[in-house]
Amino acid sequence: PKAPPAPPKVDNTVAQGKTSTGAQPVSKPAAPVKTAGPDKTPQGDSFKKPTPNAEASSSSSRPNINAHDLQGPQVQAPKLSESEVQDLAMGRTPGKGKAAPVRPEIQKVAEEMKAEVPGSEILRYTDQGGHPMLKKPNLPSGTQDGVCSAMTSEWIRTGIEAGGDPKKGSQAFGKLTDNHFGGLIDKQHAESLQSNSLTKLNNEHMSAVSKFQDSVEQLKDKRAQRNEINELLTNPDLTPDERQGLKQQRAELNQEFKAGMAQLNQDKEALEHKQAAMQSLTDDFRTGRGGGNPGVRVQDYEPIEGSTFGQKLFDGTKEDGHYRMGLRKPGESADGHVIGLHKTDGKSRLMDANTAEWQTNSHKDLVNLTAEHIDRLYPDYKSFDLTRYN
């Protein structure tokens, strides 16, 4: 018996046609190719002839596939989020959904603090100082020293939007920092501009207040002069000319005093309106720092002292909610830093942009972990304040 015919050869080569521009592809010199007949492959192999029935039924038994189907699924261009568009516009690399690597020195100090507070756990490292985006040149103003304020604001926002659930809040925060870090840079920049504007307005307001106080003192002097003239006019030994001269001076002082009081009342009203406007802008600024949530100033800046700090912090964070703790070095225009705290009856959280987002088993552990941060990382900061957001 004869051996069965060999199966046809299979080749994965796809014949090249014209390109989309109409140009012929450039061919490399090759050995002569056998001429293919109507029933042969380009390599000269014969096709297996179909049976008459198969040939007749081929149109119904096979799916009708066109060239468009062979291109595979049509994938639309990804839609970029607003922060990703901002990243590209600023020449930054958009977030890739992956956390930036933490520096070894930050990991080391975090592990040491964790060992000091057994009831604490590291949820994710933040380590803003090691983030590639903050190492690029020509950063926007207000971001050269990091994005601690913006990061804390967004941490508070995501926590509140999660209904105060520590786990959900942490997940939302992690998604934000991994994917939209560029947005934190932009937010910090915008906050810096707003802060500078408020500082300028406040300085102008304080200058106007100082001028107002000077006007008050001048009117006090005029009143004292008038009282002195009244006393002199009681002297019976005055000559008519002396008496007339004193009365003339008193009349002039009365006129100046009256005009000064009218101006003073106008200035006072203007200052009150200015103060109200400043307060509104300050409230808006404080709301922005809470991720769009209004805040309550729990404590103004108090000294950080080893013997009292822990108790002050514990008392100031007794109510459940998110807290923004501001740290300040000595001096009016000294550097500052911000740490976020989230106190609940169960698990609590701490977020420091320089180290990590943490979880603690209790309120007491939260206070102890905060004290560890102050001792190890911020010994030069001498005062702190607290604002609560719910």
Question: Which string of DSSP letters, residue by residue, matches 127-166?
Answer: -GGG-GGGGSSSPPTT-TT--HHHHHHHHHHHHHHTTT-H
Dist CA 73 CA 248 (whole Å)? 100
pLDDT bin (cut points 50, 70, 90) of residue 85 is low
Of 35 and 346, the structure prediction assigns the larger pLDDT to: 346
22 pLDDT more than 80: no
| pLDDT computed for residue 99 by the predictor | 76
Dist CA 199 CA 202 (whole Å)? 5
Taken as a whole, the chain contains a residue count of 390
* Longest alpha-carbon distance in the chain: 162
Burial of 18 per CB tally in 10 Å (0-12, 13-18, 19+): exposed
| pLDDT computed for residue 80 by the predictor | 59
| pLDDT computed for residue 37 by the predictor | 41
Which of 96-100, 164-168, 308-312, 345-349 bottoms out in mean pLDDT, i.e. has the lowest? 96-100
Instruction: Count other C-beta atoms under 10 Å from residue 274's C-beta.
Output: 15
- 359 phi/psi in degrees, rounded to 5: -130, 140
Report the mean per-residue pLDDT for the chain.
81
Which of 1-15, 158-172, 287-301 bottoms out in mean pLDDT, i.e. has the lowest? 1-15
pLDDT bin (cut points 50, 70, 90) of residue 109 is very high
28 pLDDT more than 70: no
Which is nearest to 95 in space by CA: 187, 161, 188, 185?
A: 185
Which of 19-23, 174-178, 293-297, 340-344 bottoms out in mean pLDDT, i.e. has the lowest? 19-23
Residue 110 and residue 120 in contact, taking contact as beta carbons nearer than 8 Å: no
Query: How does strand 295-303 pair with strand 348-352?
Result: unpaired
116 pLDDT more than 50: yes
pLDDT (average), residues 145-160:
96
Which is nearest to 354 in space by CA: 366, 368, 337, 367?
A: 337
Residue 156 and residue 164 in contact, taking contact as beta carbons nearer than 8 Å: no
Name every residue whose Cβ is closer than 8 Å to that of residue 132 and which is 6 or more positions away in sequence: 93, 100
pLDDT (average), residues 114-128:
95
314 pLDDT more than 60: yes
pLDDT bin (cut points 50, 70, 90) of residue 335 is confident
pLDDT bin (cut points 50, 70, 90) of residue 334 is low
Tens-place pLDDT, residues 176-186: 998 899 999 99
pLDDT (average), residues 86-92:
49
Of 130 and 46, the structure prediction assigns the larger pLDDT to: 130
pLDDT (average), residues 318-336:
88
Tokens encoding 378:
């911020």
152 pLDDT more than 50: yes
| pLDDT computed for residue 113 by the predictor | 97
> How would DSSP label each residue in 54-112?
HHHHHHHHS----HHHHT---PPPPPPPHHHHHHHHTTPPPP-SSPPPPPHHHHHHHHH
Q: Which residues pair with 360 in a beta bridge?
A: 120, 348
Dist CA 182 CA 245 (whole Å)? 76
pLDDT (average), residues 299-315:
94
Which is nearest to 363 in space by CA: 117, 38, 180, 88?
A: 117
Tens-place pLDDT, residues 49-72: 334 443 443 333 444 434 343 343
Q: In angstroms, what is the C-alpha Rg of the chain? A: 39
11 pLDDT more than 80: no
Using the Cα atoms of residue 137, residue 90, residue 124 and residue 327 in order, give the sign of their dihedral. positive
87 pLDDT more than 80: no
DSSP symbol at 40: B
